[in-house]
Amino acid sequence: MEINDLLYKESEWLKGIGPKSDIVLSSRVRLARNLADHRFFNQASNEERIKIRQEIMEGFKNVKALKGTTTINIGEISDVDRDFLVERHLMSIEHTEDGDAKAIVFDDKEMLSIMVNEEDHLRIQVLQSGFNILNAWSVINKLDDEIAEVIKYSFSDELGYLTACPTNLGTGLRASLMIHLPALVLTNQVGKVFEAISKLGLTMRGLYGEGTEATGDMFQISNQVTLGHSETELIESIARLIEKIINREATTREMIMTKNKTEVQDKVWRSLGTLKSARIITSNETITLLSVIRMGVNLGIIKGLDLRTVNELFILLQPAHLQKMEKRNLNPEERDRKRAELIREKLKKVEE
């Protein structure tokens, strides 16, 4: 598979399927792992980094679960392609820099991706559609076991998996759920949710990862603590919390559809009207409007538009995606026009 093949392909996690997919976009688990006989990435010379990558890729040949996956050396691809892989949530922004010894491995469905030589030697990720965190954990757990048979992990009986940054020590596990909370935002309840999350040692961030603002009522909730609990405990604890948030969002959606139906309809239809009409549109405005439309689809206000198309637009509207579609570099103004064009095309047939 080539990077370009991804462009018009549908990622599994964007399908809008899976449990509670009206509220939970995706469930992700990632594990941080390092090779026992090497220095951490940031302490290793370029030579050693390349050796690390070679050993990993050699080992992967014997991992059944990785059959048919694609491997790309980050140093060998263009800037736009790197950004493109970030936009598809296959790798982190950090992984785009200093790419010489870095690689990425991913499967056709984009459910599985492994960053080689990110902050840790291995960052293994499994991404699923909807509220599927237990399943994602079970998949990644098996994969991790398989990899452990061919690669000797850096592990301490006392501390667990050793990682470059102490915040990942122990399990090396981070579970993240991308959730859509338009009703809680509309009714100013997100602050309370945020408080509850913080007390449980979890964090809440914006759509595009660490340090980003929440845009379009999309939030990423993930665990902070990786040490002192088993993986299952961590996963189950976040799952319990997410379940509560889901219930609260669902109840609030019902409530606003009872008490403020016309106002909500007005907001939903106006957002669709703007997206179907605009000739210039920024990504921030698009995300905000798409978020409202996603709610409108889930509340049964907009018919004839599926979550899949809405989810897909969240990905396609991004700069590198637009540039790959146009097959050339675009300046911000050109992107705002191309984005508007793309959205109009995708939403053309949706009845108002």
Binding positions for a copy of itself, rule: CB under 8 A: 262-263, 265-266, 269-270, 272-274, 276-280, 337, 340, 352
Is the CB of 231 or the CB of 285 nearer to a copy of itself?
A: 285
Beta strand residue intervals within the chain, DSSP E: 24-33, 70-73, 103-106, 112-116, 122-129, 155-156, 160-161, 173-180, 202-205, 218-223
CA distance 315 to 87: 7
3-state percent helix, strand, coil for the chain, nearest multiple of 5: 50, 15, 35
* Phi-psi map region of 20: left, alpha, beta (phi>0 left; psi -120 to 50 alpha): left
Minimum CB separation of residue 139 from a copy of itself in Å reads 42
Q: What's at 244, amino acid-wise? A: K
Minimum CB separation of residue 248 from a copy of itself in Å reads 26
CA distance 290 to 307: 11
Is the CB of 210 or the CB of 263 nearer to a copy of itself?
A: 263
CA distance 86 to 80: 10
Minimum CB separation of residue 322 from a copy of itself in Å reads 16
Minimum CB separation of residue 301 from a copy of itself in Å reads 10
Is the CB of 124 or the CB of 313 nearer to a copy of itself?
A: 313
CA distance 173 to 129: 19
Minimum CB separation of residue 249 from a copy of itself in Å reads 23
Minimum CB separation of residue 270 from a copy of itself in Å reads 5
Is the CB of 40 or the CB of 269 nearer to a copy of itself?
A: 269
Is 325 strand, coil or helix? helix
Is the CB of 97 or the CB of 266 nearer to a copy of itself?
A: 266
Is the CB of 10 or the CB of 341 nearer to a copy of itself?
A: 341
> What is the per-residue burial (b if ≥16 Cβ within 10 Å, else e) of 146-165?
bbeeebebbeeeeebbbbbe
